[in-house]
Structure 1
């Protein structure tokens, strides 16, 4: 059975829920879903869904970087939106963070996300 290690980054929102920000196992980092929450205030960031998506990607990056990687190491992402009409705006902001070889990805419209945010993203990264 592979050893697993919890990864926690101060640059990503903290919570008291029973899950880790990320879990590293056999060189794969599984990053929990993050919404557009400012890690310093614990509050949802103001602005449109593009700005919120940038914050989500910054939260994901903080956890991946804590494990020794970067967003370029993400191999799979799942994007959750509460309104598929936001898809284009979310995609534009997301694209600014993933580099020349974007990860495989799924986008799902969810009826509701925690704290009623509009976008949440989780990821899997290959880190050494």
Structure 2
């Protein structure tokens, strides 16, 4: 399930940078399929994907941090 919370008035088009933390890089291909449903490779945000040993909650397999440029 994908959920978004844009309380500052931004939407997906305003995201300029994404950092993805994956517990298992074997999940990269599946993650990339979902990511590409929301972002275009040519016009989408820059992206960094990092493998991590674990995340704060043991049930999490992925964490995503993003930065958006909020319209004025």
Both structures adopt the same fold (TM-score exceeding 0.5): yes
- The aligned length equals 69
Corresponding position of 1:8: none
- Cα offset, 1:68, TM superposition: 1.0
User: 2:51 matched to which residue of 1?
Assistant: 109
Any idea what the Cα deviations from partners look like across 1:56-90, whole Å, max 9, x if unmatched?
xx2xx31x3x2111111100000000010100101
Which structure has the larger Rg over C-alpha atoms?
A: 1
Q: Is 1:93 matched with 2:22? A: no
**TM (normalized to structure 2)?**
0.85
Q: Which has the higher contact order (CA 8 A, sep 6+)?
A: 2
Aligned-partner Cα distance in 2 for 1:98–1:68: 19
Q: Residues 1-128 of structure 1 correspond to what in structure 2 (within 5 A)?
A: 54-55=1-2, 58=3, 61-62=4-5, 64=6, 66-99=7-40, 101-116=43-58, 117-128=60-71
Runs of 4+ with deviation above 2 angstroms? none
CA RMSD of aligned residues (A): 1.4
Query: Which stretches in structure 2 are left out of the alignment for 5+ residues?
Result: none
In the alignment, the residues of structure 2 paired with residue 82 and residue 92 of structure 1 have an alpha-carbon distance, to the nearest angstrom, of 17
